[in-house]
Structure 1
Amino acid sequence: MKTEYLYKQPKTLLNKGTGFLTGYSHSLNPYTGCAFGCSYCYVRKMPVSLFRNKEWGTWVDIKKDAAEVFRKELLRARTKGPVTIFMSSSTDPYQPIEHKERITRSLLEVMAQNPPDFLLVQTRSPLVRRDIDLLLRLGEKVRVSMTVETDLDEIRKHFSPQAPPIQARLKTLQLLKEAGVQAQAAIAPVLPSSEAFPDKLRPLVDRICIDDYFMGDGSSGKRTKQMGIHKWYEPLGLEEWHDPSAYQIVYERMKRVFSAEQIYISQQGFEH
């Protein structure tokens, strides 16, 4: 899938935390659009995608000079109260173009100089390991939330062929732990996985977040239903995994190796 890249000059970077992100004062998106183009991404049914009239995953806007805009906004926001940031809510801050453009790194550099009260970095990309030096400077004020929807790469390839391999994500969690960066595994959305999944995560993280379409797409599953995601399960013969109760399969498995205090469900798992 070919992706079109455009440079845009942003007027603002920080957006007020609303809806699913009411636990945060702000959300922060270094890019608009996402080249990973996951089949189940709820952003496909949000205005940012619908008004574009192009297939989600085929376009990305690069926010030029984002760091300078963000620096001023962050200073201004700090005068009004605690600043807690969710990065990112409608894109992946470490999608492939970040290798070249380094927009996300430039924003982290600003935060390393003037830390927010808390930052959650939500990604599915191993590229986050590049910025361990900056994440360490934020110390207890940052957590990396690495999406690991399944432990089966053949399932990942079916639902999100452009996204990074599962093993690379697990390796990244290992590197974050070894470096001393707070991290969690976000099983979001819950995809079919094996009984060995918990044992693969146990050495890597002390915190798990489990979320699905029905709890986590911001519309009680309506956006996902409009996309016809259930059809993706039929060729695999795994329709039972597309059900509001399917997350409980994963939850029960995780409880075998993680304590109840280490497992978070949906929105609470993304909060600080």
Structure 2
Amino acid sequence: MNSELFYKQPKTLLNKGTGFLSDYSHSLNPYTGCSFGCSYCYVRQMPVSTFRQREWGTWVDIKQEAAELLRKELRRAKVKGRVTIFMSSSTDPYQPIEHQEKVTRSLLEVMAEDPPDLLLVQTRSPLVRRDIDLLQLLGDKVRVSMTVETDLDEIRKRFTPNAPPIAARLQTLQLLADAGIATQAAIAPVLPSSEAFPDKLRPLVDRVCVDDYFMGDGSGGKRTRNLGIRSLYEEWGLEEWYDPFAYQIVYDRLKRVFPEEQIYVSRQGFAP
């Protein structure tokens, strides 16, 4: 999807962690908007999207001079106590424009020089592999959480046609692990998958988080219902997967190959 690009001068970057992310001191979004434009993205129902009067996925704000602003804010935040950062809560820090603009990389450079107590990088993009050098500098203060909602690329194409292929994400998890970077697979939200899904993840990660629309959209599933996602499941005959207990299917399959202490559910799996 081609997105319209806008260049903005943000007044702040570090936002207080609230709601689902209240375990973190701050959230950090290198961009506003996301060109992946996933059909089920809860941000579609948030003010950042609804006030824009443009379809989610068709625009991206690029935050200029972000590194220098973060440098100042990070210094101030550290004076007040522990700094734990979730990057990102309402965009993907490695969406396609990052190839060109490198805003996320510039923020990692700042944090490599002056590390927070913990940084969680949440992405679905293989582009994160580009920054392995900086992630290694952060050592045990960083974890990369790679969204892998399913192992079936035909399902990925139905729900998130503009997002990266599943195989590329799995390969990236392997590269990150080989580089000694802490990782997890985030099956979030749970999409229809095969029984072999856990076996594909087992060699790559020792930590898996399972989340769904009902636990993870910040409104008990209301935002997702307003998007009409159920109709997609009905159209494809997948109704059993649109259910508050559908995550249990995947959880039970994971338990066959992962120790239970390596499987996390919803907010617990994203906590610092």
TM-score clears 0.5: yes
Partner residue, 1:7: 7
Distance in 2 (alpha carbons) for counterparts of 1:65 and 1:168? 31
Query: Deviation digits for residues 124-154 of structure 1, max 9, x if unmatched?
Result: 0000000000001111110000000000000
- 1:235 deviates by 2.3
Q: Which amino acid aligns with 1:215?
A: M
Partner residue, 2:136: 136
Partner residue, 1:216: 216
Distance in 2 (alpha carbons) for counterparts of 1:224 and 1:157? 19
Distance in 2 (alpha carbons) for counterparts of 1:201 and 1:16? 33
Which SS does the other structure have where 2:189 is aligned? coil
Which SS does the other structure have where 2:121 is aligned? strand
- 1:74 deviates by 0.2
Alignment of 1:220-235 (within 5 A): 220-235=220-235
Query: Deviation digits for residues 89-119 of structure 1, max 9, x if unmatched?
Result: 0000000000000000000000000000000
Partner residue, 1:102: 102
Between the two proteins, the alignment pairs up a number of residues equal to: 272
Q: Which amino acid aligns with 1:38?
A: C
Partner residue, 1:150: 150
Q: Which amino acid aligns with 2:155?
A: I
Distance in 1 (alpha carbons) for counterparts of 2:199 and 2:271? 25
Partner residue, 2:85: 85
Distance in 1 (alpha carbons) for counterparts of 2:233 and 2:90? 24
Partner residue, 2:159: 159
Which SS does the other structure have where 1:144 is aligned? strand
Partner residue, 1:26: 26
Partner residue, 2:194: 194
Which SS does the other structure have where 2:89 is aligned? coil
Distance in 2 (alpha carbons) for counterparts of 1:232 and 1:129? 32
Query: Deviation digits for residues 204-261 of structure 1, max 9, x if unmatched?
Result: 0000000000000000000000011001112221111000000000000000000110
Distance in 1 (alpha carbons) for counterparts of 2:2 and 2:21? 31
Distance in 1 (alpha carbons) for counterparts of 2:143 and 2:2? 32
Distance in 2 (alpha carbons) for counterparts of 1:90 and 1:119? 16
Work out whether 1:72 is the aligned partner of 2:72.
yes
Distance in 2 (alpha carbons) for counterparts of 1:45 and 1:205? 32
Partner residue, 2:267: 267
Which SS does the other structure have where 2:80 is aligned? coil
* Structure 2 unaligned regions, length at least 5: none
Which SS does the other structure have where 1:15 is aligned? strand
Decide which moves more: 258-267 or 234-243: 234-243
Partner residue, 1:253: 253
Q: Which amino acid aligns with 2:16?
A: K
Distance in 2 (alpha carbons) for counterparts of 1:174 and 1:69? 33
Distance in 2 (alpha carbons) for counterparts of 1:2 and 1:199? 35
| Root-mean-square deviation over aligned CA pairs | 0.5
- 1:2 deviates by 2.5
Q: Which amino acid aligns with 1:234?
A: E
Query: Deviation digits for residues 135-184 of structure 1, max 9, x if unmatched?
Result: 01111110000000000000000000000000000000000011100000
Distance in 2 (alpha carbons) for counterparts of 1:143 and 1:256? 25
Moved over 3 A (4+): none
Identity of aligned residues (%): 78
Which SS does the other structure have where 1:93 is aligned? coil
Q: Which amino acid aligns with 1:116?
A: P
Decide which moves more: 20-29 or 235-244: 235-244
Which SS does the other structure have where 1:233 is aligned? helix
Distance in 1 (alpha carbons) for counterparts of 2:14 and 2:73? 7
Distance in 2 (alpha carbons) for counterparts of 1:102 and 1:155? 30
